[in-house]
């Protein structure tokens, strides 16, 4: 009987803690409202950018061969092709793919377990891919978007490529 009492108290404690966590988590609407407030307070944030605005931003920053593909951009850095997708909710996603370079799943898992700003996987064509996301719900500005792109193309993707070829 004593064990059942402890189990009951434990269940009540867990439910209380869980309801506190769930209640504290902001909703998508609350996050969108926060982005609008930030934009109105002069932080130079806006909800999202169009593909055309992103293309102009990358071109002005010096990225080469920025091509608008409708829902995404393709651009080159040091003769390496990247894709920047603008998702329906305004979020941004960068993509880098490596063809003809096998990488075992345990190595992909190691990458995903030890790196914070990107995730690797094997795509539908059997190639290895690296992606990163920038959420628009906190508001975006030029500096934030360009920092996201720069970190991905100057750090994450080159490190991932070196990681992949070192696993041969």
> What's the pLDDT tens digit per position in 14-27?
344 333 333 344 45
Query: What is the Cα 55 distance to its own chain's centre?
Result: 18
- Quick one: pLDDT band at residue 10, thresholds 50, 70, 90? very low
pLDDT for residue 15: 41
Mean pLDDT value of segment 114-138: 93
Q: Are residues 7 and 64 in the same domain?
A: no
Rounded to whole angstroms, the Cα distance separating 71 from 127 reads 22
pLDDT on residue 29: 57
Considering the domain architecture, whether residues 21 and 58 belong to the same structural domain is answered as no
Query: Are 104 and 30 within one domain?
Result: no
pLDDT tens across 21-61, in order?
333 444 545 445 544 444 444 446 777 899 999 999 999 99
- For residues 54 and 72, is the Cβ–Cβ distance under 8 A? no
Residue written as token pair 């990358």: 58
Question: Cβ(83)–Cβ(74) under 8 Å?
Answer: yes
* Contact predicate 75/66, CB 8 Å: yes
Beta bridge partners of 68: 73
The CATH code of the domain that includes 137 is 3.30.1460.10
Q: Are 108 and 122 in contact (CB under 8 A)?
A: yes
97 and 148 assigned to the same domain: yes
Same domain, residue pair 24 and 55:
no
Q: Which domain holds residue 60?
A: 51-166
The answer on pLDDT for 110 being more than 80 is: yes
- Are residues 9 and 67 both part of a single domain? no
**Same domain? 28 vs 85:** no
Judge if 20 and 63 occupy the same domain: no
- What is the percent of the chain where pLDDT is above 70? 73
SS3 state of residue 140: strand
How many domains does the chain fold into? 2
Residue 46: inside a domain: no
């Amino acid at each position: 009987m004593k064990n059942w009492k402890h189990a009951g108290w434990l269940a009540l404690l867990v439910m209380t803690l869980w309801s506190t966590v769930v209640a504290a988590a902001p909703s998508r609407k609350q996050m969108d409202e926060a982005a609008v407030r930030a934009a109105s307070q002069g932080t130079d944030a806006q909800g999202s950018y169009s593909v055309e605005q992103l293309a102009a931003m990358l071109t002005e920053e010096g990225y080469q061969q920025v091509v608008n593909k409708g829902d995404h951009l393709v651009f080159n850095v040091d003769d390496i092709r990247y894709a920047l997708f603008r998702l329906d909710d305004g979020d941004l996603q960068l993509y880098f793919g490596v063809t003809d370079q096998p990488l075992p799943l345990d190595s992909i898992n190691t990458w995903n377990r030890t790196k914070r700003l990107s995730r690797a996987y094997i795509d539908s064509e059997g190639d290895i891919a690296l992606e990163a996301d920038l959420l628009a719900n906190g508001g975006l500005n030029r500096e934030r978007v360009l920092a996201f792109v720069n970190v991905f193309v100057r750090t994450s993707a080159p490190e991932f490529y070196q990681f992949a070829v070192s696993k041969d």
